[in-house]
Amino acid sequence: MLAANDDRKCERLRHLAIVQGPETPTTSECNNDALNDFLASFGSLETLIISAPQTFALKPWLGAVAGHAKTIRVLYLDCKAGRDGEQYNDEEIEEELTQCSKLEQIALNFPSMTLDAECFDDELGVEIMTDAIATLPFLRTIQILDLPTARTEHQLRHNHSSYVFLESSIKTIAEYFFERLPGVTALAVGKCSSRQSQIAKLLYRDRMFYVRGKLVDPNGGVSVAAIGVPTQGMHEMEPTSDLLDLEPEKSFVKYGQKD
Counting Cβ atoms within 10 Å, is residue 167 exposed (0-12), middle (13-18) or buried (19+)? middle
Band of the pLDDT at 257, cuts 50, 70, 90?
Answer: very low
Position 182 scores a pLDDT of 92
CB contact at 8 A, 126 and 142: no
pLDDT at 92 over 90: no
Burial class (CB in 10 A: 0-12, 13-18, 19+), 168: exposed
Q: Which residue has the higher pLDDT, 101 or 158?
A: 101
Compare 179 and 12 and report the one with higher pLDDT.
Answer: 179
pLDDT given for residue 200 in this prediction: 41
Of 106-110, 167-171, 200-204, 218-222, the poorest mean pLDDT is in 200-204
Q: Is the pLDDT of residue 22 over 90?
A: no
Q: Name the residue among 182, 188, 168 with its Cα closest to residue 224.
A: 182
Q: Of 110 and 16, which is predicted with more confidence?
A: 16
pLDDT at 90 over 90: no
The pLDDT confidence band at residue 73, using thresholds 50, 70 and 90, is very high
* Residue 67 DSSP symbol: T
DSSP reduced 3-state for 54: coil
Mean pLDDT, rounded, for 18-27: 72
Confidence category of residue 243, pLDDT binned at 50, 70, 90:
confident
Collapsed DSSP state (helix, strand, coil) of residue 40: helix
DSSP string, 124-163: HHHHHHHHHHTT-TT--EEEEEEEEESS-HHHHHH-HHHH
pLDDT bin (cut points 50, 70, 90) of residue 94 is: confident
Mean pLDDT of 219-225: 91
Q: What is the band of 58 on the pLDDT scale with cuts at 50, 70, 90?
A: confident
